């Protein structure tokens, strides 16, 4: 029995024996686990009636949730699975549900999956995030279906199951799993779209349209990060305070042009963009062409957040400027530069790097956000330990032709509580939780 299966089974048994009580304003939650080999983040929940477990990679950009249905508990006929669930429903094309999901087409499906719809089904166009990131022709088309998903309501020390009806997803193909963690069988969409889980939870349970990510930096038995849905309070042991009171905030920006890999480029992006006004290294501003930090008429430029990219990817001009500024500040601290290692182009000897509460004591990188708040990136989030003797800067050179100038990746978000507030179109971030004496690995949940 795998670690994930045993952990989830034990927790479910304990909750069944002694179900806890939660307060009215407790957030809904799902766990986050980390695949350290690939620097990917995934979650797990129960789906259908009777239930079967689905383990999915977390994606802030994919317009649809999908998984290889035949590999997680459903039967398969030819290419299309027929879910063995009494609460499964295909969505007919000509109905209000399909219209509300803004599906762009009808799916002419004659597989058994579609028969209950008695006609054309609502269509979806998901994609494998690692397979087709740079190839817009690589989507698969599938009928959109719904089923019941089990989530949790949580407070500081309690968990209780609750169900969300009509969770929409598509059934994908095994070939689309290329690049995903071996522990996952598809993707959970958290995109800025009404079919994504945060919007569905808000509508179903009449809670704020918000969600917060706490990505864990480690993995192992009992190590979980967490997705919070519906707003705080947010508490992680041993810190009992509401961590949302420590947020710095900045507006969420809508890119009017979809520069992702979806079919309909005339639509606005479903990604989460913010305005980074400047970057400081140990308090000194970097000299950057400001046009790279703004979104132009073609949707190019700006800054977005991604859980699919393990490390922050920068336009070459920004990357080179950061390396120059960081290396100069590191030299003043007597930190010696060494040769590149693997994908990391800027590395340093560990010999003179001291430790601190927030990781290796190296120059602090501040993202100055719209509103003049700062997202501070300390050593634990900026440096990657590649050996006992070498640590590398955890930022990657994306080249001169990147669509987005700064893509903030998972490493830089780990152990930061980050709230996506779609009610007021704001992003809230705490910077490193290590400075608060806690981390994202402290969530005690399934």
Q: Are residues 300 and 216 in the same domain?
A: no
CA 371 to chain CA centroid, nearest Å: 24
Q: Is residue 445 part of a domain?
A: no
Question: From CA 351, how far away is CA 355, in angstroms rounded?
Answer: 11
Q: Which SS3 state, helix, strand or coil, does residue 430 take?
A: strand
pTM score, whole prediction: 0.90
Q: Are residues 225 and 247 in the same domain?
A: no
Q: Are residues 344 and 408 in the same domain?
A: yes
Question: From CA 352, how far away is CA 170, in angstroms rounded?
Answer: 51
User: What local confidence, expressed as pLDDT, does residue 106 receive?
Assistant: 80
Residues with Cβ within 8 Å of 199's Cβ and at least 6 positions away in sequence, in order, are 193, 209, 422
User: What local confidence, expressed as pLDDT, does residue 109 receive?
Assistant: 66
Question: From CA 63, how far away is CA 338, in angstroms rounded?
Answer: 41
Q: Is residue 235 part of a domain?
A: no
Q: Is residue 443 part of a domain?
A: no
User: What local confidence, expressed as pLDDT, does residue 104 receive?
Assistant: 62
Residues with Cβ within 8 Å of 266's Cβ and at least 6 positions away in sequence, in order, are 258
- Is the separation of the CB atoms in 384 and 392 below 8 Å? yes
Q: Are residues 27 and 127 in the same domain?
A: yes
Cα angle at 416 between 323 and 301, to 5 degrees? Answer: 50
Q: Are residues 41 and 184 in the same domain?
A: yes
Query: Domain range holding 336?
Result: 243-435
Question: From CA 39, how far away is CA 310, in angstroms rounded?
Answer: 5
Give φ, ψ of 88 to 5 degrees: -75, 140
pLDDT tens digit at each of 446 positions of the chain = 444 444 444 333 323 323 333 345 678 999 999 999 999 999 999 998 888 899 999 999 988 999 888 766 554 444 455 567 888 888 888 778 888 877 667 877 666 656 555 667 888 888 888 876 554 455 777 888 889 998 888 654 567 888 998 899 988 878 888 899 999 999 999 999 888 999 999 999 999 999 999 999 988 777 789 999 999 888 887 878 889 899 999 999 999 988 766 555 557 889 999 999 999 999 999 999 999 999 999 899 999 999 999 999 999 999 999 999 999 999 999 999 999 999 999 999 999 999 999 999 999 999 999 988 999 999 999 999 999 999 999 999 999 999 999 999 999 999 999 999 999 999 999 999 999 888 998 776 55
Q: Is residue 205 part of a domain?
A: yes
How many domains in the chain?
Answer: 2
- Is the separation of the CB atoms in 145 and 112 below 8 Å? no
Q: Are residues 217 and 268 in the same domain?
A: no
Question: From CA 33, how far away is CA 12, in angstroms rounded?
Answer: 17
Alpha helices by DSSP H, listed for 36-183, are 96-100
Q: Are residues 189 and 102 in the same domain?
A: yes
Q: Are residues 348 and 269 in the same domain?
A: yes
Give one DSSP letter per residue of 92-126, joined into a string: BSSSHHHHHTT--SEE---SGGGGGGSSPEEEE--
Find the CATH number of the domain harbouring 342. 2.40.70.10
Question: Which candidate, 203, 211, 162, 179, places its Cα nearest to that of 45?
Answer: 162
Q: Which SS3 state, helix, strand or coil, does residue 153 take?
A: strand
Give φ, ψ of 410 to 5 degrees: -60, -45
Q: Are residues 155 and 261 in the same domain?
A: no
């Amino acid at each position: 029995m795998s670690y994930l299966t045993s952990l989830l089974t034990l927790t479910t048994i304990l909750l069944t024996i002694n179900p806890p009580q939660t307060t009215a304003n407790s957030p809904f939650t799902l766990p986050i686990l980390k695949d350290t080999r690939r620097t990917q983040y995934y979650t797990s929940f129960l789906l259908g009636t009777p239930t079967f477990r689905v383990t999915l990679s977390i994606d802030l950009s994919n317009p649809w949730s999908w998984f290889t249905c035949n590999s997680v508990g459903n039967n398969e006929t030819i290419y299309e699975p027929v879910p063995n669930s009494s609460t499964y429903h295909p969505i007919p094309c000509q109905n209000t549900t399909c219209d509300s999901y803004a599906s762009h087409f009808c799916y002419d499906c004659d597989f058994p999956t579609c028969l209950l719809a008695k006609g054309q089904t609502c269509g979806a166009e998901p994609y494998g995030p690692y397979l087709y990131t740079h190839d817009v022709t690589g989507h698969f088309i599938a009928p959109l279906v719904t089923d019941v998903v089990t989530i949790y309501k949580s407070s500081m020390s309690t968990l209780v199951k609750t169900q969300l009806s009509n969770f929409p997803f598509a059934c994908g193909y095994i070939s689309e799993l290329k690049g995903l963690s071996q522990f996952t069988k598809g993707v959970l969409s958290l995109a800025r779209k009404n079919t994504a889980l945060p919007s569905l939870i808000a509508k179903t349970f009449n809670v704020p349209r918000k969600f917060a990510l706490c990505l864990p930096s480690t993995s192992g038995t009992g190590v979980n990060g967490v997705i919070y849905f519906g707003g705080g309070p947010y508490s992680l042991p041993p810190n009992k305070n509401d961590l949302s009171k420590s947020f710095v905030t900045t507006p969420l920006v809508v890119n009017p042009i979809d520069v992702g890999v979806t079919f309909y480029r005339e639509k606005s992006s479903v990604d989460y963009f913010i305005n980074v006004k400047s970057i400081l290294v140990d308090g000194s501003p970097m000299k950057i062409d400001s046009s790279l930090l703004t979104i132009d008429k073609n949707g190019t430029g700006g800054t977005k957040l991604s859980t699919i990219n393990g490390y922050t990817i920068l336009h070459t001009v920004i990357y080179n400027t950061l390396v120059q500024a960081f290396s100069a500040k590191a030299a003043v601290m007597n930190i010696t530069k060494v040769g590149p290692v693997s994908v990391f182009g800027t590395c340093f000897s560990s010999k003179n790097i001291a430790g601190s509460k927030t990781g290796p004591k190296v120059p602090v990188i501040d993202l100055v956000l719209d509103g003049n708040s700062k997202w501070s990136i300390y050593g634990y989030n900026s440096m990657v330990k590649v050996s006992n003797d070498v640590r590398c800067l955890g930022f990657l050179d994306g080249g001169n032709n990147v669509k987005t100038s700064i893509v903030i990746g998972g490493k830089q978000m780990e152990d930061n509580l980050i709230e996506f507030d779609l009610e007021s179109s704001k992003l809230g971030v705490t910077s490193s939780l290590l400075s608060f004496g806690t981390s994202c690995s402290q969530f005690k949940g399934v």
